[in-house]
Structure 1
Amino acid sequence: MVMPPRGADIPCLEGDPAYDVRWAWNTDEPLRPGLTCVFRVKDEARNLPWVLPQMLDAVDHVVLVDNGSTDGTAELAQQIADDAGATDRYTGVAYPHRVSRAGSEHLATPPDSVHSLTHFYNWAFSHVRTTYSMKWDGDMALTREGVGVLRDLSWQLQGSGAVVAVPRHPIVVEHDRLAWIDLGSRFLEPWIYPMGPAFTYVKAFEWEVREFPPSSERVVAPEGMTIEVKWLEDDELAHWSPIEDFPPSRVQRKRREQEVDRAIRAGRAEEVEGIHRVESPDGVHVVDHLLTTWLRERERPLVRRAARFDV
């Protein structure tokens, strides 16, 4: 006897059952111990060779949700997983709907619409089958030390109910041997959560927010394990509404990114407190140099300025 599909936990407003949210914890199959990394990506093929192999080495499973890439992101990700011998630990899915940009577009979009950041994130995380999950971006690359930290957390977190904030250090690549890294501000955001009904995404004013109980322990991962790779020739704020839409008190991080971007383009990056020029040796890409050498050799603490941007 074929059983009918169970009802959706969060039906989408548009009535398409393929994009309803059905949480794994409401099935008869229990969640497996472990950590799953969930990527939500669009046109990240350029960054994936620095991002995906390390993550496949660090966590138990990777879910990559492609949101309409035109640069072969989905195909490259599958190839990287296959080449790493991780085909059985990789799940690639497509989300073809246009997602409202953070800011005023997001605010005007119903939270259960397929066009909402909130629904998009909940649908993406509904593919997780482990007890812990991690939000990650397609431009965030781990150092080897970062890989080790995530491997340890994968088993240490089990049963704890803790959430983990991961510091990341934005870089802007000017060319293959030159980048600028921002160590003038502390970018600290919870990225790792247990899976369960108390840890789902809800709508906030400018973007989606993952809820967690006030009693949850908050763990902060070490500095120097993650860089966020931006490219000077790209418009890195394209997925945001105009920055003027946001109250300054809630978008300090984005305003800092804008300040750094403008300073680099104007040739005055070294005038901005906390911005460091990084030049790699001949034959070494600056991203590789940062991940393997520069961050490891840098004196701790990396971020000495008081400014801290928590999300």
Structure 2
Amino acid sequence: MHPGSTEVQSSVPPTDGLPRFGRSPFGGRGLQRGVTAVVRVKNEAHNLRFSLAPLLRATDAVILVDNQSSDGTAEVAHGVAAALGLSDRLWILDYPFALSRCGPEHLLTPPDSVHSLVYFNNWAFSHVRTAYALKWDGDMALTAEGAAQIRDFCWQVGYTRVNLLLPRHPLYVESEQVGYLDLGLHNVEHYGHPILSSYSYVKAFEWEMLRVPQGSRNHALPGGSCLELKHLDEDEFAHWTDHEAFATSSRTRRKRREFATFQAIKAGRWDACDRLFRIEAPRGVHIVDHVAREWLPRAARPLVHDREMPPRS
């Protein structure tokens, strides 16, 4: 099944932009049994071999939505799929509008604007032709355990109305050999949901969030399932209006820890951060592969003793 095999009929026009960027509501007729991963990316070429390959193996289809990348992201994605012999599972869409950054900029953008994170996500998911979808970022890399769990979940979920919660552990990448894994706090969000009209992305104060039906059930994968890659030689907070946007809100506790941890590592003070582990990969093994396939699967459980509360049902 190719994810682009069915033409999407637009029924919700944007308030600006081009008519072809209207979107259909979630659901509709003709959805097939299966799971599609929707990967929203901008300049993620360097991460795709870690993030895209496990998804192509585990899911029925991957829709990669490229938002104005300038680093050859789309070409790299095609190359990853071709190397695996899974090009028929990959569909790449181009979204040519600048998106409002999280925080005040997002708050001031109407949700029905093509520049809104809300509209962007709803447009992306309106192209899904399977009964279930995973929301994915280009910097999210499944571990060995996580890849097996996602494969198992995908063949079981069918048309079941259950939401998937996925914990992520930040891995700060210093070089191909060295990284810093934060097990002091992880984030548990909705990352999988049925494609139904009762689900959609709506506006929250700092970002978009998934609206789920009241009383819907959640299934959470265990800790150690997924890494969130953060490169110390890049601006990992460029998608925020400014650093003050997450300075005080209780909703941005995780973001404040990420910023403080990032700054501490850059300043050589990583050992002052609680439960932050400096890890060196064996010669010839990339640090992401080492952590995902060797270090985390062997680490003592529970991995995290302090975490944000999962979303309410």
- Do both proteins adopt the same fold according to a TM-score greater than 0.5, normalized to the shorter chain? yes
Shift of the 244–58 alpha-carbon distance from structure 1 to 2, 3 Å rule, reads: same
Q: Which amino acid aligns with 1:182?
A: D
Aligned to 1:14: 16
CA distance in 2, matches of 1:309, 1:267: 30
Q: Which amino acid aligns with 2:154?
A: S
Query: What SS is found at the alignment partner of 2:174?
Result: strand
Alpha-carbon distance, 1:9 to partner = 3.0
Alpha-carbon distance, 1:88 to partner = 1.7
CA distance in 2, matches of 1:282, 1:166: 31
Aligned to 1:233: 233
Q: Deviations over 1:10-35 (max 9, x none)?
A: 21001522110024633xx4111111
Q: Which moved more, 1:151-160 or 1:171-180?
A: 151-160
Aligned to 1:283: 284
Q: Number of residue pairs matched?
A: 304
Aligned to 1:35: 35
Q: Which amino acid aligns with 2:19?
A: P
The percentage of aligned residue pairs carrying the same residue is 45
Aligned to 1:224: 224
Aligned to 1:194: 194
RMSD: 1.6
Aligned to 2:270: 269
Shift of the 70–279 alpha-carbon distance from structure 1 to 2, 3 Å rule, reads: same
CA distance in 2, matches of 1:248, 1:279: 35
Q: Which runs of 5+ in 2 are unaligned?
A: 1-6
Query: What SS is found at the alignment partner of 1:123?
Result: helix
Q: Contact (CA 8 Å) 1:24, 1:129: kept in 2 or not?
A: no
TM (norm. structure 1) is 0.94
Q: Which amino acid aligns with 1:227?
A: L
Q: Mapping of 1:1-311 within 5 angstroms?
A: 8-14=10-16, 16-23=18-25, 25-26=27-28, 29-246=29-246, 247-304=248-305, 306-308=306-308, 310=310
Q: Which runs of 5+ in 1 are unaligned?
A: none
Segments ≥4 residues shifted beyond 4 Å: none
Shift of the 197–277 alpha-carbon distance from structure 1 to 2, 3 Å rule, reads: same
Shift of the 159–125 alpha-carbon distance from structure 1 to 2, 3 Å rule, reads: same
Alpha-carbon distance, 1:6 to partner = 9.1
Query: What SS is found at the alignment partner of 1:254?
Result: helix
